[in-house]
Structure 1
Amino acid sequence: MSRRRWGLAGLALASVVSLTLVGCSPSATDPGTSPSAGASDAIITTNGNEPQAPLITFGTTEVGGGKILTSIYAGLVSYTANGEPVNEVADSIESDDNITWTVKVKDGWTFTNGEAITAKTFVDTWTAAAKDPAGAYWYTNVEGVTEDGKGEPTGFAVVDDSTFTVKLKQAEADWPLRLGYTAYMPLPSVAFEDMEAFGENPIGNGPYKLEGEGAWRHDEGINLVKNEDYKGVREVKNAGLNIVFYTSLDAAYADARTGNLDVLDAVPDTSFASFETDFPDRSVNQPAAIYQGFNIPFYLDHFANDEEGKLRRAAISMSINRAEITDKIFLGTRTPATDFTSPVVDGWTDDLAGAEVLAYNPEEAKKLWAQADAISPYEGTFTIAYNSDGPHQAWVDAVANSISNTLGVKAEGLPFPTFAAALDKRVTGTLEGATRAGWQADYPSQYNFLSAQYSTGGSSNYEGYSSKDFDAKLAEATAAGSLEESTAFYKEAQEILMKDLPSVPLWYQNAVGVWAEGVQNVVFGWDSVPLYHDITKG
């Protein structure tokens, strides 16, 4: 997503990925940059996709924008390659009751315009986010904040220049885990003068900064350079980062093979069988915090959260041969899902009650579909929408064929040219069928996978799911006295999801990527995003 809903970069990063070439792919090397003379002077090129909205920390929930924001901003904490939180701008984050938290900010931090970052900076930013419909979701656990952004936040208080407090509505043991996500990163005061304009040329405090006016070339790419004033734990070992917005993952892969792209954080499905030999000792295939599935809107006829809808959702799920698809199409780069989160997140389980609905069972699927038809006959075509600027077409076609062959209904993929176009149909609630969906974790917690996508009013709950039982169980999990105690509640919450199937789980996506010759120190993190600041070449 969390972020994150995915574009070209992965699925997923929900989400999150198939391809159609739309015009010519941009070059990985901008004419305004010159080749590096040495490792520390290198400009690292990588793939990305056009952000859906202006680059505002609390208003971006997709991978394209998120990749940029995490490079140009630093929050209270950041995450290691393994997903461990480490203090960055924060000196300490403490609480005696998991309700009232005291945060101390390190001295000496500034934005790239020279403005000092203080406790007031965070309170001002978080208050603005909590009063904005785009950002309020991330703060609804704070006293006074409402999901529509119309509440008056009363839970933030400045103690002194370096100290502020946050009072939550209830105890949340995992609250500090969230603070490395972009929605909690600070903004300079100039941002509040004209937020949309600021989002076109943002001023941050992270390891990189925009190269200058015009650095964001819409639909082409964005150029970042090293921020010499950055004081955090992500020491930058190169001179900058050029992110190229490819319209075709195949084109990006070809550029990586010829050395015109340094790092590619995804591999087209056409190259799953060859990427390890195409890039000897320059590839990765490792578990990541990425879930992939597809959602069927509850506002569609025959798929409401009632008896007929539940029968049809279960039938469709049981008609899909996940093992065969992950084996023949993904060649070991995916693993059939057993829950709604990820194996790399603490608390993951493969023994949820009701998970038999994820097993390929054509006879039971036909039986359930017939029971649903007895309530109200289904006619028409079952479609699965997806963005064709990512590697999705092959698996969407395979899933559709599996549904058709099992249930005897017409099912097919429905491509949209870009991730943004596909996401707009979800945001506006105008889908006429199912939609590819996925999630790349914003922070390493089961809550992140479950809340934004499935809680009533969640920031990424576009398909209209609402369950009082699920919401209550999620609240119990967050109120638990410790992270360990919350695990049982998250399991019970997921068992509710397994009955309702707001999303049909398909598989977990590995971090699969490659890099060009001469590029060194490439490490992919827990969330499948490369640690760009460590990369060198030359």
Structure 2
Amino acid sequence: MKIKRFTGLTAAIAVGALTLTACSSSSDDEATTEESTGASTGIVSVNGSEPQNPLVPANTNETGGGLLLDQLFSGLVYYDADGAAHNEVAESIESDDQQNWTITLKEGWTFSDGSPVTASSFVEAWNWGALLSNATLSSYFFEPIEGFSYDEESELKGQGLEVVDDQTFTVKLKQPEADFPLRLGYSAFYPLPESFFDDPEAFGEAPVGNGPYVLDEWTHDAEATFSPNEEYAGERTAQNGGVNVKFYQTQEAAYNDLLAGQLDIITAVPDSAFETYESDLGDRAVNQPAAIFQSFTIPEELEGFTGEEGDLRRAAISKAIDRDTITDAIFSGTRTPASDFTSPVIDGWSDSVPGAEVTQYDEAEAQDLWAQANEIAEWPEDRTFTIGYNADGGHQAWVDATTNSIKNVLGIQAEGNAYPAFAEFREDITNRSIDGAFRTGWQADYPALGNFLGPIYKTGAGSNDGDYSNADFDALLDEAASAPSVEDSNALYQQAQEILFQDLPAIPLWYSNVTGGSADTVEGVEFGWNSVPLLYEVTKN
């Protein structure tokens, strides 16, 4: 069993925040070339899920689409297995004041169609992603840039973004933010070729990127196939003949294919196999900490969950969940009960944020809180509290256990609300048409505490699916982002979490290990800090 513990991820990059230089010398480049010429030719297969939306970087904020985009595109930086950032398309990212940044690109980069990757490729892509008229799911990530607005059409070009020449552009932020370079490996910041702007809809079905692979075919609800990108100019050179991402309806089906040699890599083992997968796979089993937080969200306007009544009911439900028993019985120790809204593998994490006691199982207190809420407004006897989830993701067991815990402690009806597929589930969440609470979680985009807070809970953020809004919380996030050091920033993020524990826009459940594995058909399988396998490293003959 491979076990790797990651610590100090933010610190790994903080030292180089002002100037990130190229990661390899000329001798390193020569070694990469020699390795790539001897790369294996087999097609590596991995499980995945049908993306919610067409493959447009700024409009993808879920793991199904994210896995595909990360094969197709290269950003200014990329993250290695330990979460450290390395320049990829960027030659340097420099600032004298942490507010005004100059970004210089390496020469020789092209998209897979042969068109050049220039400063305009980034500026135009970011500007498009920030436009309110495009309603992108990741527009929040452009909020710190001068010119962004939630009230009127944003125009970053000419305000926060300026093209200096083909290889250089500048970024002006609304305030100093020392960790700005750390974010730039996230998909929202990927460049786009000119062909995208001619027909964004068509591009989303057949995207052209600048990453290690090109998309050969996307068969909806079935699979996506990739081959190595001959135009790729970076360090993540494909060591195989391509990648096949298979979309499965259940994790059990994927795991059975893995055991049968019909799948090379599985990114999540079904709970039915937790007791056996390490013996099934031997040293090819993976169980390692990852930057993943799991919860379920109770929408802000859900009946019975607003105002003082809502505060009481949210706290009662949180205290009615026996996280220790559920993680032991359902997950066999591959999950750890959550005591905050972030992840223990991120630098600055704390298990003693004031208010965290609301995550502790306490039947008597849960019942008392529920009774106090009923004094304000009685909970209807015929009403059922539901948690929505996608059945293709292996969530039924924990949802059933969680709702049973709530039902048994509070004496109300509670059950899961199953959707057949992830895309359908996400569509109802995005459209605000889901009825009841729903499972949520966060796989980090970049290794920082703020990434678990701002995108999910800040007012108007693209992944704020419960429509939570608290001005004091927002102000603390802004203050944390402009703090002079990572340590100062983390202290403010912990203060912001105190507010989350009071409001409970989501109910923290547990932190996830990545529990995956590989068949004996492949070598060099490594799962990164955020639970995603580094597919370009995998060899298969």
- The reply to whether TM is greater than 0.5 is yes
1:456, 1:490 → 2: CA distance? 16
Matched, 1:330 2:322: no
2:311, 2:127 → 1: CA distance? 40
1:147, 1:479 → 2: CA distance? 20
Deviations 1:120-160 (A, max 9, x none): 22112111222232043221111111136712221101112
Correspondence list, 1:187-226, <5 A? 187-211=192-216, 215-226=217-228
Which range is displaced more, 398-407 or 426-435?
426-435
Corresponding position of 2:4: none
Matched, 1:497 2:539: no
Corresponding position of 1:378: 379
Corresponding position of 2:27: none
Deviations 1:154-198 (A, max 9, x none): 110111221110000111111111100011000000100010101
Measure how far apart 1:430 and its partner are.
2.2
Correspondence list, 1:279-428, <5 A? 279-304=281-306, 306-379=307-380, 380-428=383-431
From 510, 514, 526, the counterpart of 1:511: 514
The unaligned stretches of length 5 or more in structure 1 are: 1-37
2:114, 2:427 → 1: CA distance? 37
Deviations 1:436-492 (A, max 9, x none): 111111111111110111000010112121000100111110010122220100000
Correspondence list, 1:61-80, <5 A? 61-80=61-80
1:39, 1:115 → 2: CA distance? 26
Native 8 Å contact 1:136 1:145 kept in 2: no
Measure how far apart 1:292 and its partner are.
0.3
Corresponding position of 2:475: 472
Native 8 Å contact 1:133 1:148 kept in 2: no
From 454, 461, 464, the counterpart of 2:464: 461
Measure how far apart 1:240 and its partner are.
0.4
AA of the residue aligned to 2:364: E
Task: Specify the SS of the correspondent of 2:171.
Answer: strand
Correspondence list, 1:262-281, <5 A? 262-281=264-283
AA of the residue aligned to 2:227: V
AA of the residue aligned to 2:495: E
Native 8 Å contact 1:296 1:502 kept in 2: yes
2:435, 2:110 → 1: CA distance? 48
1:450, 1:178 → 2: CA distance? 14
Deviations 1:385-427 (A, max 9, x none): 1100111100000000100110111111110111112112211
Native 8 Å contact 1:297 1:431 kept in 2: no
AA of the residue aligned to 1:222: A
Native 8 Å contact 1:222 1:244 kept in 2: yes
Which range is displaced more, 95-104 or 139-148?
139-148
2:207, 2:242 → 1: CA distance? 16
Corresponding position of 1:95: 95
1:259, 1:198 → 2: CA distance? 34
Corresponding position of 1:32: none
Measure how far apart 1:231 and its partner are.
1.2
From 241, 254, 257, the counterpart of 1:255: 257
Measure how far apart 1:316 and its partner are.
0.3
Native 8 Å contact 2:39 2:238 kept in 1: no
1:377, 1:458 → 2: CA distance? 33
The unaligned stretches of length 5 or more in structure 2 are: 1-37
From 158, 177, 186, the counterpart of 1:181: 186
Matched, 1:150 2:146: no
1:504, 1:149 → 2: CA distance? 33
Correspondence list, 1:483-494, <5 A? 483-494=486-497
1:432, 1:202 → 2: CA distance? 34
From 424, 431, 434, the counterpart of 2:437: 434
Which range is displaced more, 70-79 or 145-154?
145-154
1:427, 1:98 → 2: CA distance? 34
2:287, 2:520 → 1: CA distance? 18
Measure how far apart 1:514 and its partner are.
1.3
1:151, 1:112 → 2: CA distance? 30
1:49, 1:459 → 2: CA distance? 21
TM-score normalised over the length of structure 1: 0.91
1:51, 1:313 → 2: CA distance? 31
2:346, 2:81 → 1: CA distance? 13
2:181, 2:308 → 1: CA distance? 40
2:272, 2:446 → 1: CA distance? 31
Corresponding position of 2:43: 43
Measure how far apart 1:524 and its partner are.
0.3
Task: Specify the SS of the correspondent of 1:176.
Answer: helix
Corresponding position of 1:525: 528
CA gap of 1:437–1:109, structure 2 versus 1, over 3 A, is same
Q: Considering fraction of residues, name the structure with more helix.
A: 2
Identity %: 54
2:395, 2:229 → 1: CA distance? 36
Matched, 1:115 2:115: yes
Native 8 Å contact 1:130 1:149 kept in 2: no
2:52, 2:436 → 1: CA distance? 22
Aligned-residue CA RMSD (Å):
1.1
Corresponding position of 1:54: 54
Measure how far apart 1:39 and its partner are.
6.1
1:518, 1:136 → 2: CA distance? 40
TM-score normalised over the length of structure 2: 0.91
1:420, 1:329 → 2: CA distance? 25
2:118, 2:487 → 1: CA distance? 33
AA of the residue aligned to 2:164: V
AA of the residue aligned to 2:98: N
Deviations 1:248-285 (A, max 9, x none): 11111000001100000000110000000111111100
Task: Specify the SS of the correspondent of 2:368.
Answer: helix
AA of the residue aligned to 1:203: V
User: Structure 1 runs of 4+ off > 6 angstroms?
Assistant: none
1:116, 1:148 → 2: CA distance? 34
Native 8 Å contact 2:44 2:242 kept in 1: yes
1:357, 1:484 → 2: CA distance? 26
AA of the residue aligned to 2:126: W
Correspondence list, 1:121-132, <5 A? 121-131=121-131, 132=134
CA gap of 1:148–1:56, structure 2 versus 1, over 3 A, is farther
Corresponding position of 1:239: 241
Matched, 1:449 2:452: yes
1:434, 1:515 → 2: CA distance? 34
1:453, 1:315 → 2: CA distance? 22
Deviations 1:202-243 (A, max 9, x none): 0010001112xxx01111101100112211121211110000
Native 8 Å contact 1:133 1:149 kept in 2: no
AA of the residue aligned to 1:219: D
Corresponding position of 1:31: none
AA of the residue aligned to 1:355: A
AA of the residue aligned to 2:101: W
Task: Specify the SS of the correspondent of 2:409.
Answer: helix
Deviations 1:6-41 (A, max 9, x none): xxxxxxxxxxxxxxxxxxxxxxxxxxxxxxxx9610
AA of the residue aligned to 2:471: K
